[in-house]
């Protein structure tokens, strides 16, 4: 074996304990994802084709153990968007109920000339069906 190969093996063996001793569960932090209730959204009066917009969304943060993670935006039809704000909630913690209104934004690009319908998740009805705030925004050609 050449000295160069010996050096590689020595470095590899020296680093092995560091590579194998990493445990992601060391801090015992566990969480689960939750939907966050949207209470308001601000959209323009109209969109212009091929323009980009920042959509302002206000949601309720239910407690101090819940942190915003992003938006889940689905497209059930060409110009319909279902928007759900979601967060992560820490498990096994004493959480103070806070009900803070928090504002976040997402980027939207108008690609179609038909009016857009935005449906923002606000909770569930007594049958477990989603309830939504709906906004229709026309497109200026």
> What's the whole-model pTM score?
0.77
Secondary structure in 3-state letters for 70-126 = EEEEEEEECCEEEEEEEEEEECCCCCCEEEEEEEEEEEEECCCCCCEEEEEEEEECC
Does residue 10 or residue 125 have the better pLDDT?
125
**In this predicted structure, what is the pLDDT of residue 25?**
53
Alpha-carbon distance 139 to 141, whole Å? Answer: 6
Tokens at 33, concatenated: 């994802």
Span 83-130, pLDDT tens digits: 999 999 999 889 899 889 999 999 999 999 999 999 999 999 999 999
**In this predicted structure, what is the pLDDT of residue 93?**
85
> In order of start, what are the domains of the chain with their CATH numbers?
31-140 (2.60.40)
**In this predicted structure, what is the pLDDT of residue 92?**
87
Span 22-66, pLDDT tens digits: 555 556 779 999 999 999 999 999 999 999 999 999 999 999 999
């Amino acid at each position: 074996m050449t000295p160069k190969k010996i050096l590689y093996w020595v470095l590899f063996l020296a680093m092995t304990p560091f590579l194998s001793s990493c445990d992601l569960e060391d801090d015992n932090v566990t969480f689960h994802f939750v939907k966050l209730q949207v209470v308001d959204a601000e959209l323009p009066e109209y969109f212009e084709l091929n323009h980009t917009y920042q959509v302002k969304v206000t949601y309720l943060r239910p407690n101090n153990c819940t942190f915003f993670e992003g938006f889940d935006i689905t497209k059930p039809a060409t110009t319909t968007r279902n928007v759900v704000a979601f967060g992560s909630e820490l498990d096994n913690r004493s959480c103070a109920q806070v009900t803070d209104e928090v504002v976040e934004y997402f980027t939207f690009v108008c690609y179609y000339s038909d009016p857009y319908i935005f449906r923002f998740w606000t909770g569930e009805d007594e049958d477990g069906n989603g309830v939504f705030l709906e906004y229709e925004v026309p497109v200026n050609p």
